[in-house]
Amino acid sequence: MSDMIRAGHLRSVVMRAPGMTKTVDFYVKAWGLTVAHEGDGITYLRGTGTEPFIYALKDGTDFGIEYIHMGMPDRASMDALHAQVVAKGAHVLGAPGEFDDWPGGYGFEMLDPDFRRLRFTCDLEMNEKMDKYAHPQKITHCVINTGDMDGVEAWYQDVLGFRVSDYSADQMVFLRAAADVEEGADHHCIALVRAPYASVNHVAFETGGINEYMRSIGRMRQNGTVPTWGPGRHGPGDNCFAYFVSPSGFVIEFTSEVQKIDEMTHEAQVWPRDNPEKMDQWMTAGPPTPAQRACMMGRPDPGFPPSNEG
């Protein structure tokens, strides 16, 4: 494992749905993102951090993830990761090269076992940080449902070098990518949920400290949208949470104070789901309602099966 190339940090997530770009006002006025670039049938949104964009809205015929976007430090690590995934027999969509869509960069794309598209990039033109209080800074994690949690978990570890941070009983696994040199590794950037089919569960946005997190919830309330679950504080990851349902039906989360993992000392544990205090340390949110669980189950995401490429 020591010589394995590990996938880098989570940059952004591109979501696809019918009429998705028509919901941009919600993400700008209420959620707090800023339009970074508009293309044909797609709008890219940035946070207050340095990434060119952290979330994008793409018009499509079905509901799902267009791609999960991750970074690598440089071209050498990108080429090494590509060689590794090819050697592992993964479904790679081409050799590393320059992307011709915005925001460009050098890298490649591949499919995971559920036909989700993963994009890896380096050499992007980064932003200056924005001085905006209580606005989303970055994406911390993308949680995805899968009909084969054990197999997909093994794939992310064996092919991309992800490591397990924790389990939620036998229903969920939290996976982290390579640590940021300055910040360390977030507890998870990808999490898998055992489910009947592949779909998106939710995407979480880091708001800053706990006061900014609460103020972000307040901005949503002022704009007429209340949390569907939360505020609360999870056991695994130790992060604050407040979940909302977007106009397209996707679940999105404000989070704060996500646990940073010490790679030398951390040991994964199995967190129980039958102890409410392990699910929500504050005991403020209560369990998810049936409606909340249905939203987080999402609609089946066909992804990009090889026969449908192009």
Q: DSSP for 197-239, please give it.
A: S-EEEEEEEE-SSHHHHHHHHHHHHHTT---SEEEEE-STT--
Q: What are phi and psi of 252, to 5 degrees?
A: -130, 155
Pairing state between β 34-39 and 42-46? antiparallel
205 near 255, Cβ under 8 Å? yes
Nearest by Cα to 145 from 66, 63, 200: 200
Decide if pLDDT at 219 tops 70.
yes
Mean pLDDT to the nearest integer, 133-144: 97
β-pair partners for 55: 13, 45
Q: What's 38-98 look like in SS3?
A: EECCEEEEECCCCCCCCEEEEECCCCEEEEEEEECCCHHHHHHHHHHHHHCCCEECCCCEE
For the domain made up of 138-297, the CATH class stated in words is: alpha beta
Q: What are phi and psi of 23, to 5 degrees?
A: -95, 10
For the domain made up of 10-125, the CATH class stated in words is: alpha beta
Q: Can you give the pLDDT at residue 184? A: 73
Nearest by Cα to 146 from 190, 115, 192: 192
Neighbours of 223 (CB within 10 A): 13
Q: How far, in Å, CA of 225 to CA of 263, rounded?
A: 38
How do residues 261-287 score in pLDDT, each as one tens digit?
998 899 999 999 999 899 999 999 998
Q: pTM here?
A: 0.96
Decide if pLDDT at 240 tops 80.
yes
Decide if pLDDT at 310 tops 50.
no
Q: Can you give the pLDDT at residue 2? A: 56
| Run of H or E including 293 | helix 290-297
Q: How far, in Å, CA of 189 to CA of 71, rounded?
A: 12
How do residues 176-214 score in pLDDT, each as one tens digit?
998 765 677 899 999 999 999 999 999 999 999 999 999
Q: How far, in Å, CA of 276 to CA of 282, rounded?
A: 9
Q: Can you give the pLDDT at residue 3? A: 84
- Determine the angle formed by the axes of helices 149-160 and 75-87, rounding to 10 degrees: 130
Residues of the chain within CATH 3.10.180.10 domain(s) are 10-125, 138-297
Q: Can you give the pLDDT at residue 1? A: 46
What is the dihedral sign for C-alpha 145, 187, 14, 181? Answer: negative
